[in-house]
Amino acid sequence: MARWREAVLVDTNVIVEAWRIDAWRALCGGYMLETVEECVIETQTGYQNRRPEQQIDREALLAGLKAVHKVSDVERAGALIRDGEIAMLDEGEKALWAHALARSDAWVLCGPDKASLRIGVRLNLRDRLFSLERLLEDAGFRPKTALKSAYRQDWLSRTLVELAQREGKIA
């Protein structure tokens, strides 16, 4: 499959998983990665609960990102108007969706949280939801450490079908 050439919005979970499997450099080298301030903050909290390979160097993280966006109150309000259930997401995902929905350019979102994926399904944006596995494969990177299941393409495909069925969005 052809590699995505536009913005790739990543959530905290994807950053942590890419770091865990030592794929961060490959991911930043293959894509224009972007995120929001809240996700960067989330990567820096909880160090006491993370193994050393999951501790993310802030400078290396920022160096690999094309952009870190500050989300405005107007963007947040616009997202809530589109789908009020965005309010139920954690802060990073809420801000990431607010930013994504305010964009007028091409983008995809990579994040395995089911509540976040459900927003994508509800807003008819399933085609913009990518798995970490797909991104890494398209960039030609084969991790030595196995991805956790929620970052695999088969899990994402199954989950999107289940969510679409629940939401009455099956085509």
pLDDT digits (tens, 9 = 90+) for 25-75: 999 999 999 999 999 999 998 654 666 666 789 999 999 999 999 999 999
pLDDT tens digits for 94-153? 999 999 999 999 999 999 999 999 999 999 999 999 999 999 999 999 999 999 999 999
Q: Please, what are the domains in the chain?
A: 7-167 (3.40.50.1010)
| Distance (Å, whole) CA 4 – CA 98 | 22
CA-angle at 35, arms to 94 and 152, nearest 5°: 85
Cβ partners under 8 Å of residue 9, min gap 6: 34, 35, 96, 99, 100, 107, 108, 109, 110, 111
pLDDT score at 4: 87
pLDDT at 29: 95
Band (pLDDT 50/70/90 cuts) for residue 85 is very high
Sign of the Cα torsion 136, 141, 142, 146 reads negative
Q: What local confidence, expressed as pLDDT, does residue 52 receive? A: 66
| 66 close to 34: Cβ distance less than 8 angstroms | yes
Q: Which residues of 34-61 are buried (b: 16+ CB within 10 A; e: fewer)?
A: bbbebbbebbeeeeeeeeeeeebeeeeb
Sheet arrangement for strand 7-10: 67-69, 32-36, 7-10, 107-110, 129-130
